[in-house]
Chain A
Amino acid sequence: MEVAAPLPSWSIYAILIAQGSIYALLVWFLGRARGKTAETFLSGGRDIGHGMINASVVATWVWAATLMISSWTGYQYGFIGPWWYALGATVPLPLMAYLGRRVRTVMPRATSYPEFMAHRLDRKNHILHSLISTVVSLWITVMIITGGAIMGHAFTGAPFWAIALLMVLIFVSYIPLAGLWASILADTVMSLMLYVCLIIIAVAVLVKIGPGEIWAGLTEVASNRPVLQPATGEAEQLSQWDGLNWLNPAGLGFLVVNIVGNLGAVLCNQTYWSRVIGARDPKTAFKSFMTAALCWWPIPLATGTALGVAALSRGLVVGESYTNGGATIVFTEAEAVAPVMAFLVLGFAGLTIFILAVGSATISTGAGEILAVTTVFVNDIYKGHINPKARDRTLLVASRATLYVVAAALLAVVIFFREIGFSFAGMYQAMGIAFSSAVIPVIMACFVKNTNREGAFWAAIIGSVCGMTYWLATGADLLWGVVWGNIIVLSVSAVIAVTWTIMRPQPFDFDSLKESEGATGG
Chain B
Amino acid sequence: MSELWYVLNHWVTIAWLCLAALYAYYAVIADLVVIVRNRKGDNEPGKSKT
Using known A-B contacts A195-B20, A298-B16, determine if residue A215 contacts B28 with beta carbons closer than 8 Å.
Answer: no
Assuming the A-B contacts A33-B44, A212-B7, A298-B13, are A54 and B27 also in contact, with contact meaning beta carbons closer than 8 angstroms in the complex?
yes
| Inter-chain contacts of B34 with A (CB < 8 A) | 49
> Which of B1, B13, B46 gathers most chain A CB within 10 Å?
B13
Which residues A308-352 have CB closer than 8 A to chain B? none
Choice from A46, A188, A206, A214 contacting B14 with Cβ under 8 Å: A206
Given A54-B24, A211-B6, does the pair A79, B44 have CB atoms closer than 8 Å?
no
**Do A40 and B46 have beta carbons less than 8 Å apart?**
yes
Shortest CB–CB separation between residue B50 and chain A, in angstroms? Answer: 7
With both beta carbons as reference points, the residue of chain B lying nearest to A296 in the complex is identified as: B20
Q: State how many angstroms separate the Cβ of B24 from the closest Cβ of chain A.
A: 5
CA distance A216 to B9 in the complex (A): 14
Interface of A is mostly: helix
Residues of B within 8 A of A301 (CB): 13, 16-17
CB pair A51 B3 closer than 8 Å:
no
Shortest B33–chain A CB gap in Å is 10
A82 pairs with B50, CB closer than 8 A: no
Q: How far is the CA of A49 from the CA of B10 in the complex (A)?
A: 33
Q: For chains A and B in complex, what number of residue pairs have CB atoms within 8 angstroms?
A: 119
Q: A45-B45, A58-B24, A280-B48 are in contact. Are A215 and B17 (CB under 8 A)?
A: no
B residues 1-50 touching A (CB-CB < 8 Å)? 1, 3, 6-7, 9-11, 13-14, 16-21, 23-32, 34-35, 39, 43-46, 48, 50
**Do A295 and B45 touch (CB < 8 A)?**
no
Q: Nearest A residue to B1 by beta-carbon distance?
A: A244
Question: Which chain B positions have C-beta within 8 A of A44?
Answer: 45
Which of B6, B27, B31, B50 meets A79, CB within 8 Å?
B6
When chains A and B are docked, how far (Å) is the Cα of A33 from the Cα of B43?
7
A305 contacts which chain B residues (CB < 8 A)? 9-10, 13
Per-residue CB proximity of A176-194 to B under 8 Å, as 1/0?
Answer: 0000010000001001100
- List CB contacts (< 8 Å) of A141-188 with chain B: 181, 188
A302 contacts B14, CB within 8 Å? yes
Given A51-B29, A195-B24, A211-B6, residue A30 in contact with residue B35 (CB < 8 A) = yes
A127 interfacial contact with B, CB 8 Å: no
* Chain A residues in 8 Å Cβ range of B45: 33-34, 40, 44-45, 47, 181
Residues in B neighbouring A15, C-beta threshold 8 A: none
A297 contacts partner chain B, Cβ-Cβ < 8 Å: yes
User: Given the complex, which residues of A lie within 8 Å of B7, measured CB to CB?
Assistant: 211-212, 215
B28–A79 contact, CB under 8 A? no
Rounded to whole Å, the gap between the CB of B29 and the closest CB of chain A is: 7
User: Is the CB–CB distance between B39 and A30 below 8 Å?
Assistant: yes
A424 to B9, CA, bound (A): 30
On chain B, the residues within 8 Å of A33 by CB distance are: 43-45
B46 touches A47 (CB 8 A): yes
A294: Cβ under 8 A from any B Cβ: yes
How many angstroms between the C-alpha atoms of A299 and B10 in the bound complex? 13
Please tell me the size bucket of the interface on A: 35 or more
Q: Whole-angstrom distance between the alpha carbons of A476 and B48 in the complex? A: 52
Q: Which residues of A contact B30 (CB under 8 A)?
A: 49-51
**Please, how many angstroms separate the alpha-carbon atoms of A214 and B6 in the complex?**
9
Q: What is the minimal beta-carbon distance from A222 to any residue of chain B, in angstroms?
A: 10
B43 touches A211 (CB 8 A): no
A4 at the interface (CB under 8 A from B): no
Q: A58-B24, A291-B27, A298-B17 are in contact. Are A47 and B48 (CB under 8 A)?
A: yes
Highest count of chain A CB atoms <10 Å: which of B23, B31, B50: B31
Q: Is A202 an interface residue (CB 8 A)?
A: yes
A93 at the interface (CB under 8 A from B): no
Residues of A within 8 A of B26 (CB): 51
Could you say which residues of chain A place their CB within 8 Å of the CB of B10?
Answer: 206, 211, 214, 305
Taking CB as reference atom, which chain B residue is nearest A299?
B17
Chain B residues within 8 Å of A299, by CB: 17, 20
A212-B3, A246-B1 as given contacts; A294 in contact with B11, CB under 8 Å: no
Among A199, A202, A298, chain B packs the most CB atoms within 10 A around the CB of A298
B24 pairs with A50, CB closer than 8 A: no
The residue of chain A having its C-beta at the shortest distance from the C-beta of B27 within the complex is: A51
Q: Are A55 and B3 interface neighbours, CB within 8 A?
A: no
Q: How far is the CA of A317 from the CA of B44 in the complex (A)?
A: 57
Chain A residue nearest to B10 (CB atoms) is A211
Task: Note all chain A residues with C-beta closer than 8 A to B35.
Answer: 30, 49
With both chains docked as a complex, state the minimum distance between the C-beta of B23 and any C-beta of chain A, in angstroms.
Answer: 6
16 A-B pairs in the complex with CB atoms less than 8 angstroms apart: A34-B45, A47-B46, A49-B50, A50-B30, A51-B27, A54-B28, A55-B28, A181-B45, A199-B14, A203-B14, A206-B10, A211-B9, A212-B7, A280-B50, A297-B20, A299-B20
| 8 further interface pairs, Cβ-Cβ under 8 Å (given A58-B24, A215-B3) | A30-B35, A40-B45, A181-B45, A191-B24, A192-B25, A199-B14, A206-B10, A211-B7
